[in-house]
Amino acid sequence: MALVVGYFASAGETEIRALPQFLQKISPNVLWKRCFPAKEKPAPKFRGYISPKSTERGTTGHNLVRKIKERLQKMQTFQDEYDIFLVIDDTDCQNPQEKDKEFKQIFDRFLIRRWIGLWALPEIESWFIADPENSFHKVSELKQKYVPFINKMRNLYSFSSPEDFNNLLRNKNGCHEKLSDIIRKIFETLGVYYKKGKHSVTLLKNVEPDNIARNCPVFRERLSRLREEIQC
């Protein structure tokens, strides 16, 4: 019988539409069950994409914390159906250890010991930068400019890992600029139209977790822990 991982993620279109494929690359032998966001009930015989509830769209950060509390409260009677829980979220320039502490308090409250936070520092776009051959290079309108794009990023920002943007963009209120906006602006200087909502679903579907791990130390450590847990 397959091990069951219940996962919670922000309610953006990118995460909802592309995470299932991404998680399958981590392990195709696991049953990945989305706990949040919930899905709208589809119309009879509907076979297309099922969107999240309208009240949950865009939920991330502290709002995601609140929603997970609410969902775990409702799940208490069937919590044992899950072998481990996974939380996937942007850090938005928050220290990843602070996010760990925040979510640990929630899971401790419900006596859940097996859980892992898979954080994107500072946004999921760092994963795309970590694996440009499979992300930008595989989107036709971005393909021709992905090398000058990466070079321009390195000229503007000194980083050894895409996760360095978590510190480079930090201010007392979080990030003073979003990494997704920086990507958009750099592509614009190269004469390329980049839109998060249009491109990021494809980019996340295409990236390889092991390639991201080679360039993102925090992601690498979390991915290693997750794989150890699901192989137990």
pLDDT of residue 42: 46
pTM of the prediction?
0.89
Q: What are 66-122's pLDDT values in tens digits?
A: 999 999 999 988 888 999 999 999 999 999 999 999 999 999 999 999 999 999 999
Eight-state DSSP code of residue 139: S
Q: What are 214-228's pLDDT values in tens digits?
A: 999 999 999 999 999
pLDDT above 70: percentage of residues in the chain: 89
pLDDT of residue 129: 96
- Which residues are paired to 126 by β-bridges? none
- CATH class of the 4-124+208-230 domain in this structure: alpha beta
The overall average pLDDT reported for the chain is: 90
Q: Which residues contact 44 (CB under 8 A, 6 or more apart)?
A: none
Q: What are 182-210's pLDDT values in tens digits?
A: 999 999 999 999 999 889 999 999 999 99
Residue predicted with more confidence, 179 or 38: 179
Range 159-164, long-range pairs (CB < 8 A, 24+ positions): 161/130, 161/215, 161/216, 161/217, 162/121, 162/126, 162/127, 162/129, 162/130, 162/215, 162/216, 163/121, 163/126, 163/216, 163/217, 163/218, 163/219
